[in-house]
Chain A
Amino acid sequence: MTRTAAALPDPGRRRILAAGAGGAAALLFTWRPARAGPGESEAAIRTLTGGVAPMPGRVRFDVPPLVENGNSVPVTVTVDSPMTAAEHVRRIAIFNERNPQPNVIVAHLGPRAGRAILSTRMRLATSQRVVAVAELSDGTFWSDSVEVVVTLAACVEG
């Protein structure tokens, strides 16, 4: 039965294989940038609002629900506001939950804008929930969130 003995993998080869797998795993972890996570996104929103949780409504966040390329996602935020000196939108901000950083953009506008609208293009590292928050001149915060499915991720490769 010498053939069976020869077919058994020798321990040295196993050690090399295990080390290789471990090394590959370590590389994967070091390559992956840290993700923001829902907690960090929440914290970033609270930093903007000064601890107040924004109320849902008044904001419309237009994001394609299915994104083919996370490197460029067109987004539009519209806020229901007359944009007068007495009642207007002061800030519009966008946050994400699973990119390396929770912030995307913070725009400052005023009654001179005429219409409370902001369009830009953002990156999405993976499928996730994105949130738009608006600060009104009366100090209230409103938000809208959208779940987005991304088929090709940004940030990590390319």
Chain B
Amino acid sequence: MARALINVPSSARRGSIVEIKALIAHPMETGYRVDATGAAIPRNIITRFVCTYRGEEIFSADLFPAITANPFIAFSTVATESGEIVFTWTGDNGFEETETATITVT
């Protein structure tokens, strides 16, 4: 279980634009580095990030080795209804992590 940090405002006015920030602990090993013995370190990265709002996909991204360790992604969305915002990261070696945030729309 990797640790993830997500930042979603707990409440928002209907129709307002809210900023969403997501950060997850992950080495994002590029596959281009070598260890102390000179052997190549195999690639281990997160390849996809998906964000759904009340079950509907609002944002997704394909990540490449040029993204830093502990990938950080910030984007925005329109607060439409109260509900759950679900974040999913998937990657190499069967990596999968899901985090959920709840937003109350007034």
Chain A residues with a Cβ under 8 A of chain B? 31, 33, 71-73, 96, 99-101, 103-110, 112-115, 117-124, 155-156
Whether the Cβ atoms of B66 and A112 lie closer than 8 Å is: no
Contact of A118 among B30, B58, B74 (CB under 8 A): B74
Contacts A106-B62, A119-B74, A155-B33 supplied; 18 other A-B pairs, CB < 8 Å: A33-B32, A73-B68, A100-B32, A101-B65, A103-B66, A105-B66, A105-B67, A107-B73, A108-B59, A108-B61, A112-B58, A113-B76, A114-B17, A117-B75, A119-B75, A120-B71, A120-B74, A122-B67
CA distance A123 to B72 in the complex (A): 12
Q: Is B56 an interface residue (CB 8 A)?
A: yes
CB proximity of A79 to chain B, nearest CB, Å:
12
| Cβ-based interface call for B64 (8 A) | yes
User: Among B32, B58, B69, which residue has its beta carbon within 8 angstroms of that of A110?
Assistant: B58
Min CB gap A121→B, angstroms: 4
Which residue of chain A has the shortest Cβ distance to B34 in the bound complex? A31
Number of A-B contacts (CB under 8 A): 94
- Among B17, B32, B59, B80, residue most surrounded by chain A Cβ atoms (within 10 Å): B32
Residues of B within 8 A of A107 (CB): 59-62, 73, 75
Report which B residues bind A (CB closer than 8 A).
Answer: 17, 30, 32-34, 53, 56, 58-69, 71-78, 80
* B77 near A121: Cβ-Cβ < 8 Å: no
CA distance A124 to B66 in the complex (A): 7
CA distance A145 to B43 in the complex (A): 28
Contact A113 B34, beta carbon cutoff 8 Å = no
Return chain B residues, CB-CB under 8 Å to A117: 74-76
> Closest Cβ of chain B: how far from A107's Cβ, in Å?
4
